[in-house]
Structure 1
């Protein structure tokens, strides 16, 4: 077994440098992927909102919608997907106009379409099927996307936390790190459970709990 004597393992410094390099490369890539996913989702939502509004408009102009109950039959499936349709009838100068607005649970996207149509029994239609809690409605695509984005956030927070422990907590506290590291990890978990969703909020909260500042090179926001 003498041939093993010439083999050298990685030193602690080499391990730390490797972790730092990995984090520097991985985090921006994850951030870009996350932003691309959000942009794609917003585009998909906007496209669907336009399609829903046009569907309502065409049905009104064609005389297929006579009342709010007729609208409900057309829109209830969209509502189950998390879309929030509002239809308002506006009478002005003898002209009947309809304001069709489509929102989406969990999205800032909003689309409004005005259409002139025949007189109907529509008053002010508001969504009937509205999920009571965030995430309880929406398509499978929405749920998968939310899961992926949450996973990316967890990975970024985990990488950041590892670097903060290795390069900030351990050098600052030495042997006391045996106590401080678990406190820091619990603070990160508590911050997430308290509703914090951005790295900035989680990092500042957790670091503050153990009385440490965040160096500039770990301010990834």
Structure 2
């Protein structure tokens, strides 16, 4: 693996880069000349919601507040707290990516909703797998520091579900994600099926 942005350039520049990229995404979408204005407006609203207080900001705030919290394994409150964080962080960003594409491409409301649900599944699945790898792989295998979430006192899926149940949950999310794609053209949906399988089977 390669060093992350904040390791190379520092946290301050990495944060500025993220803000710049969000602005660039809005600029690119709003500058589109191939879609009706109402689609463009709807797409921009989706992006704004994903990164604002109903999305990324809310999830990150809850993540920071939860550091050091103590939950027992199989604690429902711990799982609810964890799901809130990642539905509003990783899943929210993937939902926005899928939904914006569907909106700009002229998808029906039903198609947009199915893609949103698909993206939520793979967003949560990504985080579940990431948490499992963090406690089961070495730093050399991961290309980053293993066990960093545990050391930081972060709430993780293995911490509240155990490793095996976390793996089972990831597999269930993969099945659900694939189910949401049923009915779409199989050739056009093939990359999305591949992406779901890649996420659940990744090893670093």
Give the structure-2-normalised TM-score: 0.30
Tell me which structure has the larger Cα radius of gyration. Answer: 1
Give the structure-1-normalised TM-score: 0.28
When you count helix as a share of all residues, which structure comes out higher? 2
